[in-house]
Amino acid sequence: GLNSPFDDCGLVLEAIAGPDPRDPSTTNLPFEYDADAPTEGFRLAVLKGATTGVDEGVLTNFEESLKVLERVATVEEIELPDLPYEAITRTILNAESASAFEELIESGRTSELTAPEDHYGLYARTVVLAKDYLKALRLRATMARTADEAMSPYDAVVAPARRSPASPVDEEFRRTTPGTARDILGAVGNGAGLPSVSVPNGFTGDGLPTGVQFMGKAYDENTILAVARAYQSMTDWHDRHPPGL
């Protein structure tokens, strides 16, 4: 039956999935949401180093999430081959954002942005060299194959949804992200185009929310939605709200 927020995710994805004539990177693969997919017997992986440098509260809640997941899954640690995952994805995203915001950059309207670092950040992205961009594209294919091989025995990879808790309303967003933390899973997911879903998994001692994410294999959205439904059925974090909301 349909009784989970992830049913909404699945139904929306079913409605919007498919080719887009304005986006040549889309594929003509159908998606049909499976609301009755099994919610136990999963095999999950934790990427080695995925929690290095994360906020202490995020780490505590993530470790508790793994204990919950062990009721319906086996959890094993895996390690990816040594590749510059973050550099690959960063180079591609910088080049693509420079292209997407070309008119904004050339018009000088970046000076209207409220964050001072954004006044020049977009300009910096315009200096990505063609040779570096093409090399990153070649390495992205290698990264995708590497991720597929490493993930093939597993239903999903589990990691903190974000390296730090959500930002306080009155605090600058960038100041809440630990500078020493690496986001290998985010780099792999964005670079290889893998599906991921995030679920609330608790609060820090300061009352700021944290999340856990499940990243799956390409075109295997039904499985990660099933894992998310299973986790949420065993917790009540999604039902908790700040006073007055």
Question: What's 43's DSSP letter?
Answer: E
The reported pLDDT for the residue numbered 210 is: 94
pLDDT(101) > 90: no
Distance CA 39, CA 7 (A): 13
pLDDT tens per residue, range 1-17: 555 788 899 999 999 99
Strand intervals (E) in 125-191: 156-160
Q: Which of 216, 224, 201, 229 is nearest to 65 (CA)?
A: 201
Is residue 10 within 8 Å of 238, Cβ to Cβ?
Answer: no
Tokens representing residue 25 in the block: 């990177």
The reported pLDDT for the residue numbered 178 is: 52
Mean pLDDT of 18-37: 89
Count other C-beta atoms under 10 Å from residue 95's C-beta: 21
Distance CA 230, CA 41 (A): 10
- Beta-sheet strand order (sheet of 73-78): 73-78, 42-47, 156-160, 209-215, 196-203
Mean pLDDT of 55-64: 96
The reported pLDDT for the residue numbered 222 is: 96
pLDDT(56) > 70: yes
Q: Which position has the higher pLDDT, 224 or 26?
A: 224
Burial class (CB in 10 A: 0-12, 13-18, 19+), 55: buried
The reported pLDDT for the residue numbered 122 is: 56
Count other C-beta atoms under 10 Å from residue 111's C-beta: 9
**What is the SS3 assignment for 12?**
helix
pLDDT(27) > 50: yes
The reported pLDDT for the residue numbered 129 is: 79
pLDDT tens per residue, range 168-222: 777 765 555 554 446 788 888 888 889 999 999 999 988 899 999 999 999 999 9
Q: Which domains does the chain have, with CATH numbers?
A: 40-239 (3.90.1300.10)
